[in-house]
Amino acid sequence: MNTRRPLRFATLLATLLLAAGAQADTVLLNASYDVARDLYKDYNPAFQKAWQAKTGEKIEVKQSHGGSSKQVRAVADGLEADVVTMNQATDVDFLADKGLVAKDYTKKFPNNASPYTSTMVFIVRKGNPKGIKDWSDLVKSGVQVIVPHPKNTGNGRYTYLAAWGYALKQPGGSDKSAQEFVSKLLKNAPLFGTGGRDATTTFMQRRLGDVLVTFESEAELIAKEFGRGDFEVIYPSVSILTEFPVALVEKVVDKKGTRKQAHAYLEYLWSKEGQEIIAENYLRPRDPEVLKKHAAQFPAIKTFTVDETFGGWSKAFKAHFVDGGSFDQIYSVK
Amino acid sequence: MSRSSSHSVLPGFGLSLGYTLVYLSLLVLIPLAGLLAKSASLTLADIWAIATGPRALASFRVTFGASFIAACLNGFFGLIVAWVLVRYDFWGKRFIDALVDLPFALPTAVAGITLATLYAETGVIGEWFAKAGIKIAYTPLGIVVALTFIGLPFVVRTLQPVLEDIEPEVEEAAATLGASRWQTFRRVLFPAVFPALLTGFTLAFSRAIGEYGSVIFIAGNMPLISEITPLLIISKLEQYDFVGATALASVMLVISFVMLLAINLLQWWASNRHRSVPVKDAAALGGAQ
Amino acid sequence: MTVRRANNEPRWMRVLLLVVALGFLALFLGFPLVTVFYEALKKGVDAYLAGLADPEARSAILLTLGVAAAAIPFNIAFGVAAAWAIAKFDFRGKSLLITLIDLPFAVSPVVAGLLFVLIFGSQGWLGPWLAEHDIKIIFAIPGIVLATLFVTFPFVARELIPLMQAQGKDEEEAAVSLGASGWQMFWRVTVPNIKWGLLYGVILANARAMGEFGAVSVVSGHIRGETNTLPLHVEILYNEYQSVAAFASASILALLALVTLVAKTVVEWRMRKETEMLTADLPPEKTE
């Protein structure tokens, strides 16, 4: 066996490590969810330029992407991220409980600390052969619905809450009728995808199911990957407003002395330029002017928030997604 | 662990066993003890409740059942593959030999995505089976496919060196003594490779029990039907229920440990029983040194 | 290899076995491999290469190779030591020891990663101490190596144990009784005998080390260009709908797995030359 090879690799590794930390004055680490790379790939250089023009300081922003709650667990376990940019309040709440993020993080920035929003829409096959228009069509027999796992994935949880909220808002709607509605809908699901991307592959490539429920922003990504001619986007009568909270990791910025830069990094998301980049990535900007400019891309849709309908994420989570919650109840009677 | 073979003339027992135990403790035993300690903040009654809920029980059935079937498939076909690769010459043999390691190098997620695409009703392979009325992807059968894939190299790779080591003289001797080819295989070859076969089976089985990444893409993940235990563990982590997750992981660990121990005892028994089988003419080779 | 057996199976049997083996491999290995390359090359060679030219992909490849290489010496040392103790000596509790060696396989990779977080994480046993001394284990390269060592733990030992058991200990005993020292015996008798098994074990462990996703994903921190291994990179690309780039990276891993081909061929060729030189004077073995 050649014993020198591992050594050479070790040297290589060491060089690699040394090469990393050099250069910029300040290095920020942004721990984010996994489809946000495109957004921050555009946003980070814009911020760097703006910050350097303003202060003369050079900033490098490193990105860490992964499953939302996995990322948050890593931060709680010592991943030194200066900021977290997530797709669900539950995940940031966990860090707030651990004392890593301010308890009132939603008040530290405008709009509930969510610089952009999105909503859940339907993707159907070209020509909409099953005539799917609204949530009520998803529970019809003979309609197959493709959704990511409603309990374990952010995407799936929003879908679940959206359907629940829709049923709740129907005349005579109650928690009981909502649970029946959601349970019927899930009976139409032949499988639960591992994540949003997996559900899409199942629907688009393996051609299973009649309708895919997903984020509005994903529709554009689907078009990029599979071409536009193969599917249609359907906006239901009402859907859920999905928020993407951002927060400073207090403990880390204090330790690294990067509070000023990290705060500016998040704040810049609300600037005209930040909002523009957000809109270009098919996420709904908060700035009304920017939204208006991109109106063609964001059809008007009636939405409800988790706070309004479910009394906040932590309540919604406890009622529906913990062990023994409403999702588990659907699968306990058999 | 006491040493009962003080008569052995070979050196290095203390050093090798000592090193083995230290390394094993540092990398495996202490971390696993930490896992058990973490779950010990629950009472036994709590752990029992977590482990015997209908969802958990169903997931155990799916996980261990599918792992067992997959390991059997790998044992049977793996033996044939190893035999063919060692004994026969055919075009492209080297390439196929190298291919056997693929399931390890391919990240499990890629394996899962690829297998789901192939074995879905619309996939290249799934289509044939769909015609016969068999659905593979998004059923427990899909889990078996994924687990067979990830465990495939074990049996082949544990058998290959042993098969290569069997001296032709042994078989020739059997043949001269009038044994048919089948008898030679059953009485001489099979006993010689059986311990390795069982090792391969055990490894494929244990690897399958823990597998998560590839399975979830092809399983369908329906509660009570195609939900594997590792998925339930992840589900608890997603709820930030660390203690629940470690409890479930500990229960799985104990079950796996008992099963593996049983298989290893069986193997020890089997290899002792067949110890008299001459695998190699040791004296001749010893002289060659 | 080239030694022809005196008593082979009947021809029909050989054809049958060959067909069964190849059919099984095609179904479970051939099709998936072709699919990976098909998806990677779907949009042409340029798109494939573009997917790999990304600096993040390059740093992920280097990191993956580095981690796999770092794991090799540990795996060899442990595997040989464990196999030596288990195969050549009798002691009580042997089956227990083997079972403990197998155990890391049965641990779900994500749980394996979690184990190290429980120890080295900032809320873990050693976390506060490590933070005080500014030592980074998890969310840095040492953590990735540890997780990799855990998931590849049994390979070499398990590959060597059945082989060494089958070989028995007569040869080593003969060497010792002829006056060889422990290390002489080890290098001259044991190593030549186990080299194939050792090679297989290392190749397997290596393949698994490069492909590991679950355990590494828990301890890596996913920092792009820094602690992102190739399998993690593949996942993120896939989730971002860059499936060509994702499968291109996956195809690199598949190709790395095929290095077996090269490694085995080279070793085999060298060995044959050696034995040819050694046995040049001896009359060739007769085969009928």
Q: What is the CATH number of the domain that holds B133?
A: 1.10.3720.10
Domain-located, residue B248? yes
Identify which has the larger pLDDT, C278 or C51: C51
Q: Mean pLDDT throughout C252-258?
A: 84
Nearest partner of B66 among B147, B150, B149, judged by Cα: B147
In B, which residues are within 8 Å of A322 by CB distance? Answer: 239, 241
Find out whether C217 and B237 touch, Cβ atoms under 8 Å: no
A156-165, B78-87, B177-186, B193-202: least confidently modelled range: B177-186
Q: What is the pLDDT of residue B10?
A: 86
Q: What is the pLDDT of residue A182?
A: 96
Q: What is the pLDDT of residue C84?
A: 94
Q: What is the pLDDT of residue B6?
A: 45
Same domain, C19 and C139: no
Same domain, C78 and C210: yes
Same domain, C120 and C172: yes
Query: How many structural domains is chain C composed of?
Result: 2
Q: What is the pLDDT of residue C257?
A: 75
Same domain, C33 and C116: no
Question: C-alpha B279: how far from its chain's center?
Answer: 25
Q: Does B276 touch chain A (CB under 8 A)?
A: no
Q: Does B42 touch chain A (CB under 8 A)?
A: no
Query: How many structural domains is chain B composed of?
Result: 1
Domain-located, residue C106? yes
Q: Tell me: the pLDDT tens digits for C3-37?
A: 444 457 788 888 999 999 999 999 999 999 999 99
Q: What is the pLDDT of residue A117?
A: 96
Domain-located, residue C283? no
Assembly ipTM: 0.83
Walk along chain A (334 residues) and give the pLDDT tens digit of each residue.
Answer: 444 444 555 555 555 444 444 457 899 999 999 788 889 999 999 999 999 999 999 999 999 998 888 899 999 998 999 999 998 899 999 999 999 999 999 999 999 999 999 999 999 999 999 999 999 999 999 999 999 999 988 889 999 999 999 999 999 999 999 999 999 999 999 999 988 889 999 999 999 999 999 999 988 889 888 888 889 999 999 999 999 999 999 999 999 999 999 999 999 999 999 999 999 999 999 999 999 999 999 999 999 999 999 999 999 999 999 988 999 999 875 4
Domain-located, residue C285? no
Residues forming beta bridges with residue B277, ordered by sequence position: none
Domain-located, residue B28? no
Q: Tell me: the pLDDT tens digits for C68-83?
A: 999 999 999 999 999 9
Within chain C, residue ranges assigned H as helices are 11-25, 31-40, 44-53, 55-88, 94-106, 109-120, 127-132, 141-151, 155-167, 170-177, 182-185, 191-211, 214-220, 230-239, 243-257, 259-278
Nearest partner of B69 among B133, B143, B138, B121, judged by Cα: B143
Domain-located, residue C112? yes
Contact A194 B239 (CB under 8 A): no
**Chain A interface mutation, best of C148, C241, C243, C247, highest count of A Cβ atoms under 10 Å:** C241
Same domain, C35 and C110: no
Q: Domain containing B180: what range?
A: 43-276
**Chain B interface mutation, best of C103, C181, C249, C268, highest count of B Cβ atoms under 10 Å:** C103
Catalogue all structural domains in chain A, each as residue range(s) with its CATH number.
Answer: 4-115+244-297 (3.40.190.10), 118-242+301-330 (3.40.190.10)
Q: What is the pLDDT of residue A11?
A: 53
Q: Residue B240's pLDDT band (boundaries 50, 70, 90)?
A: confident
Q: Mean pLDDT throughout B35-43?
A: 86
Assigned token pair, B226: 């195609």
Same domain, C126 and C32: no
CATH code for the domain in which residue C159 is found: 1.10.3720.10
Same domain, C195 and C214: yes
Domain-located, residue B219? yes
Q: What is the pLDDT of residue A333?
A: 56
Same domain, C18 and C67: no
Same domain, C178 and C37: no
Q: Where is A62: in which H helix or E strand?
A: strand A59-66
Q: What sign does the dihedral C171-C175-C176-C182 (CA atoms) show?
A: negative
Contact B222 A202 (CB under 8 A): no
Assigned token pair, A242: 């999905």
Q: Domain containing C102: what range?
A: 47-275
Q: How many CA atoms lie within 13 A of B79 on its CB side?
A: 18
Find out whether C60 and C232 touch, Cβ atoms under 8 Å: yes
Same domain, C173 and C269: yes
Same domain, C260 and C241: yes
Instruction: Quote the minimal CA–CA distance from B187 to chain A in Å.
Output: 37
**Chain A interface mutation, best of C222, C264, C266, highest count of A Cβ atoms under 10 Å:** C222
Domain-located, residue B1? no
Same domain, C16 and C146: no
Contact C253 B12 (CB under 8 A): no
Domain-located, residue B239? yes
Domain-located, residue B286? no
Q: Tell me: the pLDDT tens digits for C201-230?
A: 898 898 889 988 889 988 998 888 889 999
Q: What is the pLDDT of residue B70?
A: 97
